[in-house]
Amino acid sequence: MGAIPFKGGTAFRVWAPHAESVSVMGSFNDFKEDADPLKSEGNGYWYGEVGLAKGGDEYKYCIRNGDKVMSRVDPYARQVTNSVGNGVIYEDVFDWGDDHFRAPAWNETVIYELHIGTFARSEDGKPGTFDDAIKRLRYLKATGINAIEVMPVAEFAGDLSWGYNPAHPFSVESAYGGPDAYKRFIKAAHDQGIAVIQDVVYNHFGPSDLDLWQFDGWSENDKGGIYFYNDWRSATPWGDTRPDYGRGEVRSYIHDNAMMWLGEFRVDGLRYDMTLYIRSVAGNGGDDIPEGWGLAQWINRDVGVRFPGKITIAEDLRGNESVTKGENEGGANFSSQWDAEFVHPIRAAIIAAEDAHRDMNEVRDALLHRYEGDAFKRVIYTESHDEVANGKARVTSEINAADPEGWHALKRSTLGAGLVMTAPGIPMLFQGQTMLEDGWFQDTEAIDWANTHKFSGVTKLYRDLIRLRLNNDGVSRGLTGQHINVHHVNNEAKMIAFLRHKEGGPNDHVLIVANFSATNREAYEVGVPVAGLWTARFNSDWEGYRDDLVNFPVQDVVASAEERDGQPAKAVISVATYSLSIYSLSEEC
């Protein structure tokens, strides 16, 4: 489908079932409407070859339906001049070189969500491009990030957007640099050992600058025409722009789009925006869209067959296990899903102004939550583009809007980050989080890279957490495993402790102790599974992370063979106010 250049010209194919005629007009024929007509294939598709058309030429389709004469951008155009401009015949000659990248295993993945336009501002002050973003990949590599989730890059209206308003789903945003620039970015990320997960929007298109709207002149109820539902199912929070998941050609269009990102662009996974509005109209029950569910099953099934090991992540946020169940159980085949059962209670616990309002039982439940007994079927986080906008702000600003760089904001935001990195699941950070970015996310405001120097110690804190999460030093294998035992919950003292392990055995255990109170805890007793020397691996109160931290002493401890918290041994530890400490058994044990 679309425009396919070959040695003797370009082949064009387009679906326009209600058209009376279709022709191609472009820079190769002075945009004459009827110079190069296509022939009907009798099934709603039109096809033709144009000898003068070549890669780089601009083009559009001229579609006639009765007295309507419409100029339309190719729905499959791989490149456009801009959202209201022309399609560009794209000739894929990108050299991937020796790129044979394999993404890390899901239990050893740390995701960093970013927005190209604000992740790295251009030198001229314009929105950042893929080439600008490449320059910042070394920072992510040095911090330990091994996967990035890129907010949507399909061509959108204008040059500023979050990306969740795709005007041309197959075209890469021209303001970011277009398709070859994105491939350069992906290859550069792979060269740094970083996987790329692409955010895609299939719950709606547009709503503006949308040539798909009434594409061939036909519609019912004055709605969207062949690519959209034309009845009550069209309604979304973003307009009457829900694709018709029951129409075979539209299903193929979305399926082809997913395969394009994974195949042509070599991304390592897909994150689907708000699948709730793919599987239902309003998300209120009783308005299910079975064909939307079936489409997700089909795409995810093919991802597993054609691109084994690549991940598909759903943003559904309703705690629905079926989203990540296999198709043989009626599920939608997603690999993992964003977990609202983690982010909401954890944010509430660290943002609350008073200790009395922190509920350790809710924290416990957030740590234990999982889908179908599989911890890695959930993505866990305290910040995402949704959680730091739309009336909400970054955790630092939610904690103290008047002083988001202050002690309380630092302590409690990194306490939350510590739980993200030590709870079972796939951890995710949002751009700027590792450098104490404050305020809220806006597509007009780039993150402040000066903070990498101002808060270099905070970056080190995140780097140390990530090293432990990935077991880079061989002392924290338990953090890469499925298993958790929240064996100590003290709601009065606002203390919680839990054990992580992967396969079992003495050297597999990791102990995490978190203090959600304004009181330092000295000589505090918690149970451990093995007596012996437990080495302190991390203390979020260390003065090396920032000089206003107390550096409350967190030291190695020798656990005695006395039962505590249902465990056969007891450790007497210390943990600072609003801090998290990590211990693991020394190798001698």
Whether the Cβ atoms of residue 538 and residue 582 lie closer than 8 Å to each other: yes
Work out the average pLDDT over 123-145. Answer: 93
The verdict on 15 and 130 lying in the same domain is no
pLDDT, tens digit (0-9, with 9 covering 90-100), for 353-365: 999 999 999 999 9
- SS3 of residue 460 by DSSP: helix
The verdict on 402 and 511 lying in the same domain is no
The verdict on 451 and 506 lying in the same domain is no
pLDDT for position 87: 98
Strands in 579-585's sheet, in edge-to-edge order, are: 483-490, 495-501, 510-515, 579-585, 532-539, 557-559
pLDDT for position 283: 78
Torsion of CA 311, 317, 323, 324, to 10 degrees: 50
Say if 280 falls within a structural domain.
yes
Whether the Cβ atoms of residue 153 and residue 175 lie closer than 8 Å to each other: no
Lookup: tokens for 487:
């064996």
- SS3 of residue 381 by DSSP: coil
Work out the average pLDDT over 387-413. Answer: 96
The verdict on 261 and 397 lying in the same domain is yes
What's at 412, amino acid-wise? R
Gap between the Cα atoms of 332 and 329, Å rounded: 9
The secondary structure of residue 444, as a DSSP letter, is T
Q: What angle do CA 482, 486, 490 make, to 5 degrees?
A: 160
pLDDT for position 9: 96
559 beta partners? 532
What's at 502, amino acid-wise? K
pLDDT for position 587: 65
Gap between the Cα atoms of 575 and 409, Å rounded: 18
Say if 435 falls within a structural domain.
yes
CATH number of the structural domain spanning residue 536: 2.60.40.1180
Whether the Cβ atoms of residue 90 and residue 174 lie closer than 8 Å to each other: no
Indicate if the pLDDT at residue 403 is higher than 80: yes
Indicate if the pLDDT at residue 537 is higher than 80: yes
Measured between alpha carbons, how far is residue 378 from residues 62, 152, 304, 423 in Å? 46, 21, 18, 11
Strands 147-150 and 111-114: parallel
What's at 348, amino acid-wise? A
Say if 493 falls within a structural domain.
yes
Boundary residue ending a domain (88, 119, 153): 88
pLDDT, tens digit (0-9, with 9 covering 90-100), for 233-248: 999 999 999 999 999 9
- How many angstroms from the chain centroid is the CA of residue 279? 19
Boundary residue ending a domain (88, 115, 141): 88
What's at 34, amino acid-wise? D
Higher pLDDT, 316 or 126: 316
The verdict on 18 and 60 lying in the same domain is yes
* CB-based contacts of 76, cutoff 8 Å, min separation 6: 1, 2, 3, 14, 170, 253, 256
Indicate if the pLDDT at residue 505 is higher than 50: yes
Structural domain count of the chain = 3
3-state secondary structure labels for all residues of 513-533:
EEECCCCCEEEEEEEECCCEE
Say if 94 falls within a structural domain.
no
Indicate the range of 132-136, 307-311, 583-587 predicted with least confidence: 583-587
The verdict on 133 and 164 lying in the same domain is yes
The verdict on 436 and 491 lying in the same domain is no
Provide the domain limits for residue 283.
106-469
Indicate if the pLDDT at residue 331 is higher than 70: yes
Indicate if the pLDDT at residue 64 is higher than 50: yes
Indicate if the pLDDT at residue 285 is higher than 80: no
> Torsions phi, psi of 465, nearest 5?
-60, -45
What's at 215, amino acid-wise? F
Gap between the Cα atoms of 293 and 311, Å rounded: 18
Whether the Cβ atoms of residue 157 and residue 165 lie closer than 8 Å to each other: yes
Percent of the chain with pLDDT over 90: 94
Work out the average pLDDT over 268-285. Answer: 93
The verdict on 61 and 111 lying in the same domain is no
Burial class (CB in 10 A: 0-12, 13-18, 19+), 93: exposed
pLDDT for position 589: 45
CATH number of the structural domain spanning residue 203: 3.20.20.80
Indicate if the pLDDT at residue 552 is higher than 90: no
The verdict on 412 and 561 lying in the same domain is no
The verdict on 398 and 530 lying in the same domain is no
Measured between alpha carbons, how far is residue 10 from residues 13, 168, 476 in Å? 10, 20, 56
Percent of the chain with pLDDT over 70: 99
Say if 98 falls within a structural domain.
no
| CA atoms within 13 Å, Cβ hemisphere of 193 | 14
Whether the Cβ atoms of residue 457 and residue 479 lie closer than 8 Å to each other: no
CA nearest to 272, candidates 252, 299, 247, 250? 299
pLDDT for position 237: 94
Indicate if the pLDDT at residue 507 is higher than 80: no
Boundary residue ending a domain (421, 437, 469): 469
- Give yes or no for a cis peptide into 207 (omega within 30° of 0): yes
pTM across the whole model:
0.96
Say if 101 falls within a structural domain.
no
The verdict on 385 and 495 lying in the same domain is no
pLDDT, tens digit (0-9, with 9 covering 90-100), for 366-377: 999 999 999 999
Say if 423 falls within a structural domain.
yes
pLDDT for position 286: 77
Say if 99 falls within a structural domain.
no
pLDDT for position 124: 76
Buried b (16+ CB within 10 A) or exposed e, 183-201: bbbbbbbbebebbbbbbbb
- SS3 of residue 104 by DSSP: coil
Whether the Cβ atoms of residue 403 and residue 454 lie closer than 8 Å to each other: no
What's at 580, amino acid-wise? L
pLDDT, tens digit (0-9, with 9 covering 90-100), for 158-207: 999 999 999 999 999 999 999 999 999 999 999 999 999 999 999 999 99
The verdict on 444 and 537 lying in the same domain is no
CATH number of the structural domain spanning residue 48: 2.60.40.10
